[in-house]
Every structure is written in C-alpha cells, then in structure tokens.
C-alpha cells in the first residue's frame, strides 16, 4: 500500500468522531453482541503462523517469478480445501514502468447461495523494492513480505479453515488480491495515475460474479507485527465509519483495546479504497499504524527486515479473533 494522505478523509473522520463525542450516548455506535455467549470457532494462532511462514518459504512472491506462481497454486489448493466455491480471476496488469504481468485474484466463497455477504480481503504479492530500507544499496532488492502481504493472507486462510468447520449464517467471500505492491519506487513519479493495488482495481471494476454485492468488507494488511496498534484509518473512516466502529467495539469487548485503539491515523491508498470507489462496497482496513516510524507503518515496512522474525503469534490471534467475532455476530 501507499502512505499517501487523502486530506478530505482525515477532515471528515475528525468531524464524525467529534460529533459522536459531543452528542454523547445518543450517537454512540454500539454492537449488540455478547462475547461470552457467542457460538464461534476458536482461532488458532499456530495455524495462522504456519500459513504465513508457508508463503514466505516459497520465496519472493513478485509477479512474474517462480515463487509467485508456486504460491498462487498453493493458495488455490488451500481455498479449495476449505471453501465451497473457488474462482480464479486472471487478469493482465500494466505496472508503473510499462511492464505487463499476469495477475491472479483468488476468491473462496462460503454459502455461495446466500445473498447476504461479507467480503474479507488481503494482498498476496510482495514488494519488488526495499525502497524504505535504511541501506540505500538494498532499495532495488525485493522483500520477503512476511508482514506486508503474508500476515493478512495467513489470518484469512486460518479463518477459512474455521469457517469450514463451523458454518456462519451468511455468505463469506475471501479474496486474495494480486499485484498490490508493484507501485512506483520511492522517488519515482509514474505516469500511471493509480499504480498501486492493481488486482483490487481490476476486481472492483469487474467482480468475479456479475452484480456482486456485500454488506461490507474488511481488508487485512500488516496484521502480524509485534505490539501492533490498529488505529481508525482515514480512508476507512471516510467511507465506512459505522463498520470501523462495529469492529473496534467488538475488539474492545474482547479485551483488545490495547491493539485496536481509538486513535485516528492518516488515510492511505490500499485495496479497500478501490473496493469502496468502484465496487461501492463499504470496506475498512485493519492495518498497523506506528506513529513513531517515518512511514507511520510498521518499522519493517518495505525493508529487508520484513521477514518471519517480525511476526508475532499474539497479534495474529487478536486480529483473527476480532474478525471471527465480527462474522459470527452477524445474522
């Protein structure tokens, strides 16, 4: 994803939260949920960690590489193992420098006959440039993408496994977006207006099923870092503040307010922006915010340090439990 401000999103998010605060309980968003009585499966952090590590072991999953092709085959096989229906959306994508790659969006569906659906997403490709590495000599080296890519996918594969064990009442679609992280390198100005998130742009304009719709969506990006903070991200607050409030309220009831904080974070360009913009599905982003790093992301973001050493099972567990609780709270 790209850490670019969308000023209107920040301004509107601040206004909305200010209004909610000033009007007291009248406008306070709450979630009708009893965590103690909720009949939901138990998220397994060891399993999620394994799924993250498995992706990293394929190697650098940059589009056009052998590791990318092998990982795609494995992801398709895992989703066929768990989901009721799997669709592979093949597409051509022109990246910022004019190169054309074959991309694959991988979609697994549960209860495909249900008209009431929730969309869950993450990107599975890796960044071809460590352009935020502290060593400039590494800037043209691709990254492992353990957190930035694999962590979100790993959590969602474990969620898919749990959904196959205990079916939810509504339809769930899990989509792994491709060619998200092939945007222009740091310091390069591309002529391509939207050079990031090419897989989600393609899917949002041409969904895998005609007239596809969902109640809302949740994107997972960088959800495996140690002591991660997930703030209320600006683009999410601009398009879907009620969904943000719902998910953060559930996290708070689960006792995870130290992870899911009330803090606002800058709007970013990520897959959820295009799902909101083109597919018209209100989608939020659970993404790590680090106010102490130069990027405001995880300090390992787009560096050679984004490897398995930076993945924490506790964070995977927290995010997985929050998403599962959100799903099984829906009727």
On the question of pLDDT at 283 being above 90, the answer is yes
User: Do 254 and 322 meet the contact criterion of CB atoms below 8 Å apart?
Assistant: yes
pLDDT of residue 35: 67
| Helical (H) or strand (E) element with 251 | helix 241-253
User: Do 200 and 131 meet the contact criterion of CB atoms below 8 Å apart?
Assistant: no
Neighbours of 160 (CB within 10 A): 20
Mean pLDDT of 12-23: 41
d(CA 77, CA 56): 17
Residue with tokens 């749990």: 162
pLDDT of residue 39: 80
Q: What is the length of the chain?
A: 331
Diameter over CA atoms, the chain: 56
Mean pLDDT of 141-149: 98
Neighbours of 119 (CB within 10 A): 26
Burial code of 273-312, b = ≥16 C-beta within 10 A, e = fewer?
Answer: bbbbbbbebbbbbbbbbbeeeeebbbbbbbbebbbeebbb
d(CA 257, CA 164): 29
pLDDT of residue 158: 98
Alpha carbon separation from 191 to 94, 139, 255 (Å, rounded): 12, 21, 46
pLDDT of residue 17: 43
Mean pLDDT of 89-109: 97
Instruction: pLDDT band for 36, please (50, 70, 90 cuts).
Output: low
Q: 149's torsion region: left (phi>0), alpha (psi -120 to 50) or beta?
A: left
**What does the radius of gyration of the chain's CA atoms come to, in whole angstroms?**
18
On the question of pLDDT at 107 being above 90, the answer is yes
Query: What mean pLDDT, rounded, does the chain reach?
Result: 91
pLDDT of residue 187: 78
pLDDT of residue 23: 35
Q: 155's torsion region: left (phi>0), alpha (psi -120 to 50) or beta?
A: alpha
pLDDT of residue 104: 98
d(CA 308, CA 301): 13
Q: What is the pLDDT of residues 166-195, one digit of tens each?
A: 999 899 999 999 999 999 998 787 777 799
On the question of pLDDT at 223 being above 50, the answer is yes
Q: Which one has a higher pLDDT value, 146 or 331?
A: 146
Neighbours of 198 (CB within 10 A): 30
Pairing of strands 216-221, 171-177: unpaired
Q: Which one has a higher pLDDT value, 270 or 18?
A: 270
**Three-state secondary-structure class, residue 225:** strand
């Amino acid at each position: 994803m790209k850490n670019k401000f969308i000023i209107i999103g920040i301004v509107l998010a601040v206004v909305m939260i200010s209004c909610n605060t000033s009007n007291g309980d009248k406008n306070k968003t709450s979630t009708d949920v009893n965590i103690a009585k909720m009949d939901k499966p138990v998220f397994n952090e060891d399993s999620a960690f394994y799924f993250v590590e498995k992706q990293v072991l394929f190697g650098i999953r940059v589009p056009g590489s052998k590791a990318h092709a092998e990982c795609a085959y494995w992801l398709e096989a895992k989703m066929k193992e768990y989901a009721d229906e799997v669709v592979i959306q093949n597409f051509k994508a022109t990246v910022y420098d004019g190169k054309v790659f074959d991309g694959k969006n991988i979609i697994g569906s549960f209860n495909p006959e249900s008209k009431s659906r929730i969309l869950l997403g993450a990107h599975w490709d890796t960044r071809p440039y460590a352009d935020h590495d502290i060593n400039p000599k590494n800037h043209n080296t691709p990254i492992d993408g353990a957190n930035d890519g694999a962590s979100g996918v790993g959590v969602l594969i474990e969620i898919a496994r749990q959904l196959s064990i205990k079916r939810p009442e509504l339809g769930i679609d899990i989509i792994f977006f491709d060619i998200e992280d092939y945007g222009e390198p740091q310091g390069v100005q591309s002529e391509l207006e939207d050079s990031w998130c090419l897989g989600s742009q393609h899917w949002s304009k041409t969904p895998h099923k005609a007239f596809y719709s969902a109640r809302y969506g949740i994107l997972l990006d960088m959800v495996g870092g140690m002591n991660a903070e997930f703030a209320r991200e600006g683009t999410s607050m601009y398009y879907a503040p009620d969904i943000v409030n719902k998910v953060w309220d559930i996290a708070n009831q689960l006792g995870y307010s130290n992870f899911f904080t009330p803090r606002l974070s800058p709007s970013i360009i990520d897959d959820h922006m295009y799902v909101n913009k083109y597919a018209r599905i209100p989608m939020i982003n659970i993404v790590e915010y680090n106010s102490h790093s130069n990027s405001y992301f995880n300090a390992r973001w787009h560096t050679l340090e984004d490897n398995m050493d930076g993945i924490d099972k506790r964070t995977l567990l927290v995010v997985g439990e929050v998403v599962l609780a959100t799903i099984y709270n829906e009727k």
